[in-house]
Amino acid sequence: MRYLWFLLLLLPLALFPFPYYLTLLNFFALSAMVALSLYVLTGLAGMTSFAQAALMGMGAYATALLTVKVGLSPWLGLGAGLLSALLLALLLGALTVRLKGHFLPLSTIAWQVALYILAGNLVGLTGGHTGLTDLPPIHLFGISLDTGFRYAFLTLFLLVLLVLALYNLRQSRIGRALLALRGDALAAASFGVDPAALRLKAFLLSGVIAGLAGFLYAHFLRFVNPTPFSLEASIKYLVMAVAGGVGSIPGVMLGAAFFTGLEDWLKDLLPLLLGRQGNYETIGYGLILALILILAPKGLWPMVERYLPSRDPGLPKAEPLPLKSPKGPRGEVVLGVQGLQKSFGGLMAVAGVSFDLRRGEILALIGPNGAGKTTLFNLITGTLVPDGGKVFLFGREVTGLPPHRVHLLGLGRTFQHPHLFPELTVLENAALGTFARTRAGFPQVLLGLHRREEERALATAYGALRRVGLESLALERAERLSVGQQRLLEIARLLASGAEVLLLDEPAAGLRAQEKRELASLLRSLAREGYTVLIVDHDMDLIMGLADRVVVMNYGEKIAEGTPKEVQRNPLVRAAYLGEEEVA
């Protein structure tokens, strides 16, 4: 289906007699590329950039300087253009990806404005607002691409390649990880995603795409000046992407087509209506964007998509990913917690807790509400940095390591409130677990060289869904699951990750009695296979019937440790639970 995008290459033939529309077609292709750079950044990674036109400008000015001032070939200009855009994206990304909330878009605005001013003021280098003229045309296979007709084949061909590459990206471990980052960076990190590094890579890819569009723009007009690389232009690209539907590739393409046509139409219409010349189309743009976002908050594409036949991706049939290295002997300490401490202001949430977790056992961590159980989980998994104490995983100290590094060493967790991605399918949610078990990086993924590994990742995720009994819902969106099913999906994601040590935070909350029995039998069989489980739950029947040992916390301290029978008899435990619930 996706290869139908190649039909776009017929458009120059259809528009051959109309040079004006051929020009518009080229502008559409270039705008669509920049808008697609925002698909990567905003649609997938959830970041907003107002600096795409500046990145495009880097591509344009680099080639203009090399070809006009130095007299080199445009193909060298292409290399220089992509490199310059990459370097700017690296600078922008390195300084901004850690910024949260509105600070990221605001800082991109600042960079965009600064670079625009620079391009206008460095007259000796850039020609100022007059710009650089007489760029050479691109030659391809001995043909000079010096007409809109010829050029359109190049721009559309590259656009289609980009579209296909981005489809590959979306359907890959990286696409899933980016979407996960957008929704919930903590959950993504708990499966081995390094949030800052991945965001930076998304920034770089988006910068290179915008740089390519800039290079093509420069050799199409054969002239560059700062105007097309202004903040206003950046806003235009963002409007295109958002109005079309920044969350999908067809949406962004639709937005680019719609606004390229609209801009042209408004440029003719508004002076007629208003009786004077001026950049009034920007006002028209704003009004139309507002209207679209009121009527279709997710952009135009979801409205169109509703009427298209839905595609059945089918269930994965490949071999699952290979098992990780063989597990060690049962009973060996896999997780050591020594004197962990954490306080929030004056409140001691965890006060010097120590225990060992041995391979193949199920250890329950219980305690009244607010006892510090979740905080302890967060300290072990690297979500919080302890004030004191140490954590050892497989004998290696992991105290203070970030969650993605801790996961890579073989520890996985579920959350007290399920951290799932409602817009992804159940299968994709489970497949996120395989992130750290798969390798394909951006280049392989964009070129589509990851498909075998991807099939195996999906097969692994499907196998994990089968283990928790969710396989019949694999292709449903996760938002359709009940709370109990969401908890099972979190466990499936954990199983798909291949983690050996499983930290489960209240996995039985919201489950019905039968589901709880099934969960208990699943956890028992996992423990028999050599998985190690640390479980927090308030369901005493479940815990007492399931756990090999129990650690009891109260007011941040460990007050008891032993077999279920021992802790039930412990007077301190009984006192802690008095008035809450009976430890029976």
- Contacts with ligand ATP, residue ranges (CB under 6 A): 344, 347, 349, 367, 369-375, 416
What SS3 class is residue 357? Answer: strand
Q: Between 273 and 572, whose beta carbon lies closer to ligand ATP?
A: 572
Cβ-Cβ contacts under 8 Å for 407 (sequence gap 6 or more): 189, 190, 191, 192, 381, 436, 497, 499
Cβ 421 to ligand ATP, closest distance in Å?
Answer: 23
Cβ 364 to ligand ATP, closest distance in Å?
Answer: 13
Cβ 536 to ligand ATP, closest distance in Å?
Answer: 7
Cβ-Cβ contacts under 8 Å for 351 (sequence gap 6 or more): 341, 372, 555, 556, 557
Q: How far apart are CA 483 and CA 488, in angstroms?
A: 9
CA atoms within 13 A on the CB side of 479: 3
Q: How far apart are CA 67 and CA 135, in angstroms?
A: 6
Q: Between 74 and 556, whose beta carbon lies closer to ligand ATP?
A: 556
Count of beta carbons in the 10 Å neighbourhood of residue 122? 12
- Quickly list H helices, 306-361: none
Cβ 375 to ligand ATP, closest distance in Å?
Answer: 3
- CB burial of 4-25 (b: ≥16 within 10 Å; e: otherwise) equals ebeebeebbeebeeeeebbbbb
Q: Between 238 and 365, whose beta carbon lies closer to ligand ATP?
A: 365
The dihedral built from the CA positions of residue 215, 216, 219 and 220, taken in this order, carries a sign that is negative
From the centroid of its chain, how far is CA 441? 14
Q: Between 109 and 509, whose beta carbon lies closer to ligand ATP?
A: 509
Q: How far apart are CA 429 and CA 187, in angstroms?
A: 11
Q: Which two tokens stand for residue 78?
A: 């292409």
Q: Which two tokens stand for residue 485?
A: 């099913």
Q: Between 256 and 391, whose beta carbon lies closer to ligand ATP?
A: 391
Q: How far apart are CA 290 and CA 248, in angstroms?
A: 20
Cβ 374 to ligand ATP, closest distance in Å?
Answer: 3
Q: Between 40 and 391, whose beta carbon lies closer to ligand ATP?
A: 391
Cβ-Cβ contacts under 8 Å for 182 (sequence gap 6 or more): 44, 45, 46
Q: Between 314 and 345, whose beta carbon lies closer to ligand ATP?
A: 345
Cβ 508 to ligand ATP, closest distance in Å?
Answer: 13
Cβ 376 to ligand ATP, closest distance in Å?
Answer: 7
Cβ 496 to ligand ATP, closest distance in Å?
Answer: 26
- Specify the pairing of strand 347-358 against strand 143-144: unpaired
Q: Between 194 and 506, whose beta carbon lies closer to ligand ATP?
A: 506
Cβ 377 to ligand ATP, closest distance in Å?
Answer: 8
- Quickly list H helices, 339-402: 373-381
Q: Between 241 and 363, whose beta carbon lies closer to ligand ATP?
A: 363
- Specify the pairing of strand 549-554 against strand 388-393: unpaired
Q: Between 355 and 442, whose beta carbon lies closer to ligand ATP?
A: 355
Place of tokens 């359109």: 152
Cβ 519 to ligand ATP, closest distance in Å?
Answer: 18
Cβ 418 to ligand ATP, closest distance in Å?
Answer: 14
Q: Between 450 and 516, whose beta carbon lies closer to ligand ATP?
A: 516
Using alpha carbons, list the distances in angstroms from residue 525 to 361, 459, 544.
11, 21, 17
- Cα-Cα-Cα-Cα torsion 317, 322, 326, 327, nearest 10 degrees, comes to -60
End-to-end Cα spacing for the chain = 60
Q: Between 155 and 374, whose beta carbon lies closer to ligand ATP?
A: 374
Contact 66, 204 (CB under 8 A): no
Cβ 378 to ligand ATP, closest distance in Å?
Answer: 8
What SS3 class is residue 389? Answer: strand
